[in-house]
Amino acid sequence: MTAGSVERFYDFHPINARQILDAVAARGIGADAITEEVLQQHDQDHYGGTAATDRLIVEAGVRAEDVVLDVCSGMGGPARYLAWKTGCDVTGVDITASRVEGAIELTRLAGLSGSVRFVRGSALAMPFRDASFTLAIAQESFAHVPDKPRLLAECARVLRPAGRLVFSDILHRGNLSAQDKRELFSGMTFSDIATAEGYVEQLRRCGMEVVRLVDLTQEWTRILVERLAMYRSLESQTVARLGREHFERYDRAYEHFVGLYQSGVLAGALIHSRKADAAARAGRN
């Protein structure tokens, strides 16, 4: 899978900066009245909305003094919400230029540019120095990223000693067929869906200890059924912007994706891991 395929997927995603601003305008709210409280009702493009981000905040123990990296930050909803709710400093990195541009614009409108910023870059070669962050987060984005060992090693590299990596992701239970893999890649650009056991092993290999793993499969199955209905409710807007063929192709792909949750093939989890500090590493040597 190439970076270009992910960029094309999100360039034509039903949820984008224009759609978010149109939804805000439909509430009678002008651009000069946009706040984070307004945006968070529309920009949380991950499973569970602000409730899921609140759970991540609690699980990660986010503090005002944290320096946070949002990996594959998309439209920037979680990054803005974290900074607004906890007072921490957040940097988002995403490979899709249109998502980065949209995130920057929405953050400016919300008045959060002083504490939240976004840069374009690959999660496999992040443009940050070693030990730059105390916390890295991600929500349902790692399934798009090939080469999990390299991805997790990059996350570990940019974390300070004792830094945390807390992320949720799409998983499979070990029974994902080759045909379903091809269809998920073609329709959803999921290039590498891991298992929970695979993540635990790869995290261990790059010096990360798994603190907790929370199974979200049942919750996500319900949410995904609702999201399919939501995307279908945007049919007229999506067809007007992208055409009937695009809408129907995405609808088929998402229906297949949701079906794999309903049939017990796919799963989901929130994984909390922590980088060993210098003292712990010395004790093992």
Confidence of residue 273 (pLDDT cuts 50, 70, 90): very high
Confidence of residue 282 (pLDDT cuts 50, 70, 90): very low
Confidence of residue 278 (pLDDT cuts 50, 70, 90): low
Neighbours of 226 (CB within 10 A): 11
3-274 under CATH 3.40.50.150, yes or no: yes
Please give the biggest Cα pair distance in the chain: 62
Average pLDDT over residues 91-108: 95
Strands 266-275 and 159-172: antiparallel
Instruction: Look at 9-18, 37-46, 99-108, 110-119 and tell me which has the smallest mean pLDDT.
Output: 9-18
Map out the domains of the chain as residue ranges: 3-274
Classify residue 153 by burial, with Cβ atoms within 10 Å: 0-12, 13-18, 19+.
middle
Predicted confidence at residue 45, as pLDDT, reads 79
Predicted confidence at residue 54, as pLDDT, reads 97
Tell if the pTM clears 0.95, that is, is over it.
no
Predicted confidence at residue 17, as pLDDT, reads 85
